[in-house]
Amino acid sequence: MTAKNTIKKLLTAIGLTVSTIAIIGCNGDKQAISKAQLPAEKMTGTANKQALLTSADMPHYSTRSIQDEVFYFVLPDRFYNGDESNDLGAAADDSKRALSRGGFDKTHKGKYHGGDLAGLNEKLPYLQEMGITAIWLTPVLRNQAVQADTSGYHGYWILDFSEIDPHLGSNDELKDFIAQAHSKNIKVFFDIITNHTADVIKYSECHGEDGLGWIVSGNSCPYKSLAQIARGDSYNTIIPKGYETIKFPLWLNETKYYNNQGDSTWEGESAINGDFAGLDDINTALPIVTNGMIDIYKNIIDEFKPDGFRIDTVKHVNLDFWQQFSPALLAHAKEQGIDNFFMFGEVYSADPSFLSQFTTTGKLQSVLDFGFQSAVYQTLVEQKGTIELDKLFAQDHVYQDSDSNANLLLTFTGNHDMGRLAYQLRKSEFNYSEQEQIQRNLLAHALMFFSRGVPVIYYGDEQGFVGDGGDQDTRQDMMPSLVASYNDDDLLASDRTTADDNFDRQHPFYQKFSIFADLYLKHPALRYGAHTTVSAQEAPGIYAFTRTITADNNKVLVVVNTATTAQTFNYSADMVKRIYQDDENASLQQSDAGQFEISIPALSFAIYQIQ
């Protein structure tokens, strides 16, 4: 099949018009499509063409609520290489940063690939035109570059909490990137860590008397419980020679500020006190540590003025730490003039009752909504009934308190740890065709954009990335890749592979996400409205819900069909007006006074204004 015929088939499958195919062409040209060329009749239900909204059309970034954002979550190292001079990290003669040099190998999925802040700067127009209003970066602080056979390309092995990892650039380059993003009215969020530092502390019992055993053979250290420690059964800590003052601030080099209980089993007390895959677990129960971490991130706010933090491994830190950390950082940000500074945590659980304790008792403003991801997986990958969505949203009340609610949750379909939804669809026992994978993927993203919460696009999803699972297998390059296990992927809705440059504004997913972002930004009810389920069922089929801003008498109805056949839904209202339909065969008919019959084709959705 030719590239032209493949694109035509895929566009037709996901509801983009044939006229759009003529706009896109078939020669692989990478120039941007004019906003006016996109199928506006699909966006608005009219034949009037109009530009899609972007960050440039939104209120100033400093005044915007988190509910006005469309997030893009990106690993800078895997995005775009704008400065090849920093590929090896620290300079060869920089003894202070020697551990932050090296680890660069573009053919290895666990090594640095060269993406940097300069590359992100260069691609800001690509993000803005897709409707992105906020960028969430994986950690950018200086890392230990190499550990065993992999590297700190992901940013979670921090040695120095005061400066940027040299593989990504300098402190000044980060400030420039933030300034450039702000000039486009786009916010920047840092991924931060309080649970652990890089793996420097060793135990003689399992790493040898010189502490080098882990580096050489990868030995683990079984977790020792608090009861064992109380009986005197503890590990003997070692700092390898030459590493005694390698961390900054300097207090982080003191072993007394760490739990030193061996590797976590991810259960019970070890989930709080154990080393996270060998990383040095900080004892956040100590007041001096709590205050030290607060000071670290106050300094980050002072120097870089980010718009907020995503906080890593929240459930692996004691709850009372968050009760002190979150209010202190929010107050400090306000003192620096960042009135809408926002923090959301990673609590790896799909249980709302567990998640919500961190936004209520723990005083965080929000968390990533793993419950949403799970419900979408159940309905669109496992083909469970739409009642699973209703079960999730019926628990939204548990998030309600004076400073948080379910509308503030960050929703997503996949990430850098669990893998992409596209991969979960591809490996499904239902053996979905490519067309059905495309439709289910887009329907999942529609639910992410239009149900309650703040949408987060995982980088590469807009280019049909699939991957081979979680962790390293889902951290592909957007720039041309040399990793064989990435490049054998069959990307969705594209004839490209990850061996190609994948900043294609012509990709159907990029276009669809741009349309979704436009709808989200254009209609306040889709951002601020209370979410109420109208219809759900035990089998795949209709899930209908309203988003209502009562004060403005503003109600929007979203009707989703997860079945593989068309479904009909009846709704009572004075007036129902189409805003958007994902499939041209959807229909809206008034069957009687105050009664409307809505027909939604398979695996599609429609949005209506209710009066």
Say which of 346, 396, 500, 583 is annotated catalytic: 346
Q: Which residues of 340-361 are buried (b: 16+ CB within 10 A; e: fewer)?
A: bbbbbbbbbbbebebbbbbbbe
Cite the DSSP H helix spans in 184-266: 204-207, 213-217, 226-230
- 71-395-529-328 Cα dihedral, nearest 10 degrees: -60
In total, the chain counts a number of residues equal to 611
The number of angstroms, rounded, from the C-alpha of 104 to the middle of its chain's C-alpha atoms is: 25
Written as one string, the DSSP assignment of 89-100 is BS-TT-GGGGGG
Asked whether the beta carbons of 293 and 326 are under 8 A apart, the reply is no
Q: How far is residue 579 from each of residues 159, 332, 517, 545, 587, measured CA to CA in Å?
A: 51, 42, 14, 15, 12
Q: Which amino acid type is present at position 461?
A: D
Gyration radius of the chain's alpha carbons: 25
Helix 508-522 crosses helix 3-13 at what angle (to 10 degrees)? 30
CB contact at 8 A, 517 and 70? yes
> What does the alpha-carbon distance between residue 194 and residue 284 come to, in Å, rounded to a whole number?
8
Q: Structure tokens of 447?
A: 């639910």
CA–CA gap between residue 106 and residue 91 (Å, rounded): 19
The 3 state secondary structure assigned to 433-463 is: CHHHHHHHHHHHHHHHHHCCCEEEEECCHHH
312: annotated active-site residue: yes
Rounded Cα distance between 521 and 231, Å, is 59
- Cα 490 from Cα 434, distance rounded (Å): 10
Structure tokens at 319: 């709850």
CA-wise closest residue to 164 among 279, 254, 76: 76
3-state DSSP call for residue 103? coil
Identify whether 346 is a catalytic site residue: yes
**Residue 482, CB-side half-sphere exposure with 13 Å CA sphere:** 10
Centroid of chain to Cα 138: 9
Q: Give the residue among 465, 456, 476, 498 at the shortest CA–CA distance from 115.
A: 476
DSSP state of 500: S
Q: How far apart are CA 366 and CA 90, in angstroms?
A: 36
Cβ neighbours, 10 Å, residue 553: 9
β-bridge partners, 276: 279
Strand partners, 248: 160
Tokens for 330?
A: 């929010």
Q: 319: Cβ–Cβ under 8 A, 6 or more apart, which residues?
A: 357, 358, 361, 362
Of 68, 312, 518, 582, which one is the catalytic site residue? 312
Distance (Å, rounded) from C-alpha 1 to C-alpha 26? 12
Q: How far apart are the first and last CA of the chain?
A: 48
| Residues designated catalytic | 312, 346
